[in-house]
Structure 1
Amino acid sequence: MLCIKGICAMDSLATHLARLAPLYGWGDASAITPLQPGFVAHAHRLETATHVAMVKTYDRQRAVTARMLEYAPFYLEVTAWLADQPALANRLTYPYALPQGGYLVDDGQYVSAVFNFIAGVTPRDTPLSMIQQLHLVTTVGLMHRITPQVPLPVIYRRETFAVRWDQAFDLLLHDEWDGLIPAVQAMLAPHRQVLGTLLTQLRMLGNQLWARDLPLVLCHTDIHGWNTLVTGDTTHLIDFEGLVLAPAEQDLFFWFDDPRWPEIFATYQQVVGGHQVDAAALLFYQLKRYLEDIYEWVAELVVPEISQTDYTRYAGELQRDLGRSVAMLDAGQRISTRLAAE
């Protein structure tokens, strides 16, 4: 039996991980160490005699995995190109290509991509300092500015403003309501009507935005403390699964409610050469992120094989987000008021 720092090869995940280093031509792994996992994937530090790397591994049994992998070749190829640009040097994580080409190792159950290892700190829910925040904003602005130069692959993701889960969410709130497990139903019940109203508003905004010809840039779509590594005043943006060509508001909305927004937006404008925030697009992305998070928590909670640990974690996240449902009804007014004051 192969055991590396407590991970043993009788475990199919351990077997999968142990096979990675030889596939990249790095020899056998000397250490494979678990890291703090994200919501969608396992994370490990992989060490060989010549390399230290970070491995991100998706489990096909997870409800969210198919969506995460749909455009994986696109985001991996484009991220590798972006990280190679001098302006973005040491600002992004990047994937290692396999000797035969491609970036994914798939054994049927587990799918892994291997990235450069950055020895930084994940701030998670701790706010970045102003210097760190503006460094991160500059990185995103550079990505947006460089978009016209990016050699896009044949298959890439482009914003359509159609929400892939809206019909399933609508069914959950109506026709499939009685089939929900009682505990999840009890959590959703006090917020059911408000969620339906927000979903209708999201659909209307999507239709309106699709009819407009908004400029599109490469957006990360998931900018927060769990997808950032910090070394001193330097930030490194990681986890590009959601990469998409979309209006800049897809990324900007993450910072709009930050008290430091004026400084953040001034820096962004300086990097990209000026930008006027589109209020409708900003509201669309705020509503979309809020409702998508709720839908995905529910999707995970109703998986029959879910562990008690995961159930407790996801239920807590769901209840936290549901607590903001009424406040989201006023999101449009808050956006208009703030933009009018600038």
Structure 2
Amino acid sequence: METESLKLARLTKLVTEHYHLEPLSINRQQGGWASLAYRIETPSNSTYFLKEYEKKRSSTPKLTARLHKYIPVTCWLNENTNLAGKIPVPLKTQSGEYVCENVDGIFLLYEYIHGETIGEKALSQTQIEQLTTILAELHKAGNSISVPAEHLTEDFHVPFMNALNETMAARDLSPRLRSAIKPYKNVLFEHISVLQDLSLKLAGRMLPLRWCHTDIHPWNMMQSDHQLILIDWEGLKLAPVEADLMFLTDETYFHDFFALYKKIHPDYIIDEEALRFYKIRRLLEDIWEFTEQFLYDEQSEPEKEGTLKQLIHELESLKCGTQHSIDKIKPE
């Protein structure tokens, strides 16, 4: 197996060639489930954050397919709205690109955010207000911005649905996977059917579209000095705002969030069909992601076991249903 030193040598070569940086050190940081992360120190005392999507992972083609589409939008938002300093934007390479790659992966380089990830910590009242302000500002922007929204506009198509349906119904499914999904098979196929119906119904409606992050959770929030920062914008999309609000409706602070959000967007009314679509799609998408990892990624036995546990957790969430969380937000 390749040593870590060889990997770091290739990273040093990458940042030297593409960014003209001379790293003093490159240290592995805690990344997300979809990417690796590195902290880079330089002689000028500047610090950088290098994000890597590994080429060997089955999720990488999907996550990187839209990089050249969504990054210009984040740059526009950072330069033309009150989101400046609240969202990270990647640095350009010497050739003017936002992305570079080597044999290992596809890379983005950012200025390092000195702060801490919210993660498992509860949001403070100030952080709730700042999150509300960020999303309310983001949702002011629609398709009138000067950056093309091609391939970033919601069409309610669910690209993984057929693959999920066929894989879960396959007779030659891995015995371990078959055993894991057996208690949830009926509810899984019921939700696939509901999502198909909602997909067709929403595609025929003319819902207002705004720019949405589409992956709002505490692991994508950082506190830096006195400002909350929303990171990981791979899912940026022109969509109904329920694509963002769906992540918050089950949070204990949702009513505080929504009261402030309504002050900024007083005419907004939650669309229950869109909310239900996004909640179900997210659960099924996560189920498909973990299924793909289990079947196709190069994983050790402990890693496979961990993936299976995560899959079962998502299936259990599906079993608990989405209607209850929608009912909770209705006025008394």
TM-score band, normalised by shorter chain: over 0.9
Unpaired runs of 5+ residues, structure 2, are: none
Q: Distance in 1 between matches of 2:47 and 2:4?
A: 17
Q: Report matched runs for 1:217-296 at 5 Å.
A: 217-231=210-224, 233-296=226-289
Give the counterpart letter for 2:12 in structure 1: A
TM-score of the aligned structures, taking structure 1 as reference length: 0.90
Aligned length: 329
**Which deviates the most, 122-131 or 156-165?**
122-131
Mapped contact 1:131–1:233 kept (Cα < 8 A): no
Quote how far apart the aligned CAs of 1:84 are: 2.5
Partner of 2:61: 66
Q: Deviations over 1:300-333 (max 9, x none)?
A: 01126212342233222112222223221xx235
Mapped contact 2:14–2:102 kept (Cα < 8 A): no
Q: Distance in 1 between matches of 2:149 and 2:208?
A: 20
Partner of 1:142: 137
Give the 3-state SS of the residue equivalent to 2:229 in structure 1. Answer: strand
Give the 3-state SS of the residue equivalent to 1:325 in structure 2. Answer: helix
Partner of 2:98: 103
Q: Distance in 2 between matches of 1:23 and 1:162?
A: 40
Unpaired runs of 5+ residues, structure 1, are: 1-5
Is residue 118 of structure 1 aligned with residue 103 of structure 2? Answer: no
Partner of 1:35: 29
**Which deviates the most, 221-230 or 47-56?**
47-56
Q: Distance in 2 between matches of 1:299 and 1:154?
A: 29
Q: Deviations over 1:44-98 (max 9, x none)?
A: 1112223311111011111100000110111222112222235112211111012
Give the counterpart letter for 2:230 in structure 1: L
Is residue 301 of structure 1 aligned with residue 290 of structure 2? Answer: no
Q: Distance in 2 between matches of 1:314 and 1:304?
A: 10
TM-score of the aligned structures, taking structure 2 as reference length: 0.93
Distance 1:184 1:83, change over 3 A: same
Give the counterpart letter for 2:281 in structure 1: K
Partner of 1:52: 47
Quote how far apart the aligned CAs of 1:274 are: 3.4
Q: Distance in 2 between matches of 1:100 and 1:251?
A: 34
Give the 3-state SS of the residue equivalent to 1:87 in structure 2. Answer: coil
**Which deviates the most, 14-23 or 133-142?**
14-23
Is residue 17 of structure 1 aligned with residue 11 of structure 2? Answer: yes
Q: Distance in 2 between matches of 1:67 and 1:244?
A: 14
- Which of 208, 214, 218 aligns to 2:207? It is 214
Mapped contact 1:124–1:226 kept (Cα < 8 A): yes
Is residue 313 of structure 1 aligned with residue 313 of structure 2? Answer: no
- Give me the identity figure in percent: 27
Distance 1:294 1:213, change over 3 A: same
Is residue 323 of structure 1 aligned with residue 312 of structure 2? Answer: no
Partner of 1:181: 174
